[in-house]
Amino acid sequence: MELPSIGREWKKGSAELLLLSLIETRARHGYEIGKLIEQRSEGALRFHAASLYPLLYRLEKRGWIQGRWVEKSGQRRRRYYRLTAHGHKILASQRQGWQVFVKAIGRITGVENA
């Protein structure tokens, strides 16, 4: 049975990690982030604007990421998000935590660990 509310929370928890990972090496704008999540998960994960942007703002408020308006010639300006120093630390610890978590789940459920 699907429990949408729990599903949402799951997605939220993991979403932070996904987001932080995607901008680890370079700054990206919101649409690009959403697109990358969809592409790299081969369509299994999708974030719509309604949940993506609130999440970005939340992370920014926490000081993990920082948005900056960038203008490129001939285009509308866009807001690019990059990881802050604090964000780097958080990402590292979340990655570690996630791995522990996935392993634990795998052990319990017998799902093979990738």
Partner 1 sequence: MPDWETEIRKLLAGLNLPPTREAEITEELAAHARDRYAELQTGGVAAPEAVRIVRDELSGHELLAQELHEVERINVPEPVALGGRGPAGLLAGLRHDLIYGFRTLRKSPGFTAVALLALAIGIGANTAIFSVVNGVLLRPLPYPDPARLVMIFETTPQFSQASDSYPDYLDWRRDSHAFVDMAAARNDDFNFTGAGEPEHLSGEYVTASFFHTLGVRPMLGRAFLPADDQRGAPCTAILTYGFWKTRMNAARDILGKSMTLNAARCTVIGVLGQDFQFREKVQVYVPIEQWISIELNNREVHPGLGVVGRLKPGVTMRAAQDELSSIAAVLAKQYPVADAGRGTKLVPIKEDVVGAIRPTLLLLTGAVGFVLIIACANVANLLLARSTSRKREFAIRAALGAARARIVRQLLTESVLLSLGGAALGLLLARWGTGLVLAASPGSLPRSSEIGIDWNVLLFTLAVSVLTGIVFGLSPAWFGANADPQESLQEGRHGAGGARHRVEGAFVALEVGMAVVLLAGAGLMIQSIWRLLRVEPGFNTHNVLTTEVAVSPQAMASGPGIRVAYQQMLTRVGAIPGVQAAALTSLLPLSDNDNEIGWWPGAGPQPSGDRISTAMCYVVSADYLQAMQIPLQRGRFLTNHDDLAAPHVVVIDELLARHNFPNQDPIGKQISLSEVGTVRIVGIAGHVKHWGLDSDDTAKVRDQLYFPFLQIPDNLMAGAAAGVTMVIRTTPEPLSLLPEVRAQVAGPTEDQPVYDAQTYEQIISGSLAERRFTMLLLIIFAATALLLAAVGIYGVMSYTVGRRAHELGIRVALGATRQEIAGLVLRQGIKLAGIGLLAGLAAALGLTRLLASMLYGVHPADPVTLAAVAVVLGVIALLACYLPARRAASVDPIIALRWE
The one-letter code for the residue type at 87 is: G
Number of residues that bind partner 1 (CB under 8 A): 18
For the chain, counts of helices (H) and of strands (E): 4, 3
Report the site for partner 1 in 3-32 (rule: CB under 8 A): 29-31
**Residue 2: left if φ>0, alpha if ψ -120 to 50, beta else—which one?**
beta
| Cβ 38 to partner 1 shortest distance, Å | 10
Q: Please give the structure tokens belonging to residue 111.
A: 């799902």
Is there binding between residue 49 and partner 1 (CB under 8 A)? yes
Choose one: 16-24, 55-63, 86-94, 104-112; the region binding partner 1 (CB under 8 A). 55-63
